Amino acid sequence: MTTASKTCLVLALAAFASFAPMTAFARHGRGADDVVAPSTSSAAGASLAIRVRSQSHGRWEFRMTIENAATGLAPEVFVADATGALVSAGAMTPDNHNAGEYRLRLRSAKGGTLPAGAATIDELGGRAYEVRDGGVAIFSGTLPVIGAKKTNSAGTAGSGGGADDPATHDAGDDRGGTSGRGGSGGHGADDGAGHR
């Protein structure tokens, strides 16, 4: 191929690229955090597992699970909106098979709505949250960022944010529940969209 032919080919490819449509690829991944309530809180001994997941075709999952808590609680999750105000994301329901366990699970596959007016699951990363019982915070902190390394946090009950100090429990991974101080050791394998 002559130099002139090569030049024409380069120009033709450049022209084609300038008109070719750009394809946006969805960002897939998950974020996770495991929080242990401090010994001074009313939820001492309980643990909170947070899982956020971004999947293909715009699918997502937002899940919070409390384990090893007292029975008879009525936990409610609050998440900061774009202005920083904490708004309700929904009430946690008790697990009929595991006493002291409560869960909030929102999924696009089940027609769920993202908390706090977020347009995408990624927008929730880094936002403040609280889990309240009877209007009193028993857990608080910031939501994990999708794609970031999972952290084990020492949660804060009552006023103030959660300190991101390593907890002493083995939090496991995203294929089961937490194993808090005196915890249950999790629920086994996840089916890809959260347990049960």
pLDDT in tens, 39-63: 777 788 899 999 999 988 889 999 9
Which domains, ranges and CATH numbers included, belong to the chain?
27-154 (2.60.40)
Q: Label residue 4 by pLDDT band (50, 70, 90).
A: low
Contact 120, 114 (CB under 8 A): yes
**pLDDT tens-digit map of 18-39:** 333 332 223 357 888 899 987 7
Spatial distance between the Cα atoms of 86 and 137, rounded to a whole number of angstroms: 12
Secondary structure of residue 96 in the 3-state scheme: coil
122 phi, psi to nearest 5 deg: -65, -30
Tell me the C-alpha distance between 2 and 64, whole Å. Answer: 65
Percentages (nearest 5) of helix, strand, coil residues in the chain: 15, 30, 55
Q: Please determine, for residue 118, whether its predicted confidence score (pLDDT) is greater than 90.
A: yes
Retrieve residue 26's tokens.
Answer: 């969805």
Q: Are 140 and 147 in contact (CB under 8 A)?
A: no
